[in-house]
Structure 1
Amino acid sequence: MPKTRKRSVVRKIPYARGFKNPKLKTSISAIGDLTQRPTNSNFIPKHYSQEGFSLIPEPTSVDDWLAQYNETGDTYQQFISGCPWFSTRRQPYLKQTFEPTGATILAKYPQGKIYLVPLGNFPVGKSPDISSLMEFTNHFFCCPVKVMSTLHLEFTKNNKVILVRPDSVKIQLTSRFHVKTGSFQLKVDSVLKELKELIPDDALCLIGFTMADLYETTPDLFVAGMAGGRNRVGVFSFCRYNPSVSFSQEHWYQLVEDVVSIREEEFKRIMLLRSCRLMVHEISHLFGLGHCIWFSCIMNGAGHLEEDFKQPMFLCPVDLRKLQSLFGFDVVSRYKRLGAFFRNNKMKEEESWIENRIVKIC
């Protein structure tokens, strides 16, 4: 998850100590043995061809993810062996109907849904369309998605932030406020704590999202979000994903919006694209997918926003196989639904990628 302090850019950046950049042969082997058919019926080996996928990019900044973190990555087989969603025991905290012999998440938890909950205001023309976020999430995971009622934020006279729960109970969130600029940030742990109390009985996971800025620790400029897999909750902010906003690399409270720098249609496209990418990346973590080191992939880690914005909208073959094993979807049908979404939202580059991918694997 992007988490920013001051960045600097230099030439020839080394990987984090201990990280071993996988070669193509190693990345291909991470896809797993395609002759071993899983129990769900939609598995077709050629859908996981690595053709057209590039290896993960080398770091170009000291703040890039792989320049900071020694990621080990999970192969497909390691994921299958360790992911608790495949267990014949009910996941902790889940209260819904459980079928231990089910081959996929929705076979094990037939009532299961992904829940999304907006936090605070989402001004028209300055934030992503919530119904479009729900639609993309549904197409990406091939899982029922439901949007909960908005959790409102109120501000006290002494600049404290109050979360108003659906039962009208008011909770003070931990936050910080800058008097001169009027900027504020919510502490991410404080929000996660309250979201845990709101998980519906039929939820596989619950994701809160907001246009308010977030932080984790005092030195942070910001943090885009955080997901807690064990508790099945996550929260993230679209505040700095706004293409009209520029911000300081020194002070968290210095954000400037240039409302005339980008056309309305282009703003809508970029804002939705970035928000959808962040949304499904975080939800994937809640379903057990870690950061990908095998190919260029939507599950690659990001050390800062510039790196985040350059990442693709698609799962590499390793992570596609992981997700398909979890949800049992038909890969081509899923691609077609995603392609229609990209076409309807004028995301031409992504639509073209989908079309080319379908040709390659069919």
Structure 2
Amino acid sequence: MKLFSCPSCSQVVFFENVVCERCNHALGYEPRSNRMLALEPADGLWVEAGRHSQGRRWKYCQNHQYGVCNWLIAADSGDGLCAACRHNVTVPDLADAENISLWRRMEGAKHRMIYTAMRLGLPLQTRDEHPEGLGFEFLSSDTATGEAVMTGHDDGLITIALAEADDAERENRRTAMGEPYRTLLGHFRHEVGHWYWDRLVRDGGALEACRVVFGNDEQDYSDALQAHYANGPRPDWQNFFVSSYAGSHAWEDFAETWAHYFHIVDTLETGNSWGVTVDPRVDGQGLLTTTIDFDVFAHEITIQDVADAWLALSAALNSFNRSMGHSDLYPFVLNEVVIGKLGFIHDLVHGRIGHGKQTWRAE
């Protein structure tokens, strides 16, 4: 994630900020230019402020009123929802204040996932634009029937159980499932991976190339998952997959690898924004030494560049977490097979595999 600054006073600000703590200007994120804008009220709208302002007018996404979105829309646009919120199909019942709090956490994760997709120039059709466009339903379990909501993907419609936004409940589920890592952001990155398999692999001319790397996706999906949950993960999964769940089916292997690619590039962008250098005093061979001084989204960056920097950065971050008594920030091992799979994702999102992609172009 990029580190931003207030255009009015140059104070460091963050992706979710809505007010600058130094100059008190309202703030909003403008996705096409990937900038945080300082704003002043003007006749029911907002006018851009700051030394380089051209006086352009903006409006907030309609969901700004609920405190769940700070993205901006051009004042003359007919859209009421921003480029992230227009993918929502079902939101929680807003008559319940607790739902709004949980929804805010949902949107924070979803906006970060969409930010990365935009930085990678990936297609982002809505359900209105394509029958299998990307849509989100945030659902609560039915208390009357006891029917639980299952997080999952169905032809572009991604369902996220609202309970996943509750930290205690999500931790209970993580423990029950024996997972080393379970976050809201991870859910969004994983589930959207299924949608991008449809768009970029199935519909993008990359099916045969993908099968060479991830295996036979024609294996019965339901049977594969039932076998995984009944028998547990295959005993040698660490040799071939980024997680035990990735070994259940080729689709899950792709989605898990996709999610990890998003984890890695977003964190490396953060490292670049913060000017991070990792140079351990005892690393005589330089294996854990890196300076993250590159744009991880640049077309010329190789997966080996990414993997080398990530090895050093993740090792350092895990050590910091342990020093604070927390679990590893990134409790996974990237062997050569997994790096190869990440390399497929890397080439896929950069248009080097298949028919290419629709690019999100900055104005």
TM-score of the two chains, using structure 1 as the length reference: 0.27
Question: As a proportion of its length, which structure holds more helix?
Answer: 2
Higher relative contact order (CA 8 A, sep 6+): 1
Q: TM-score, normalised by structure 2?
A: 0.27
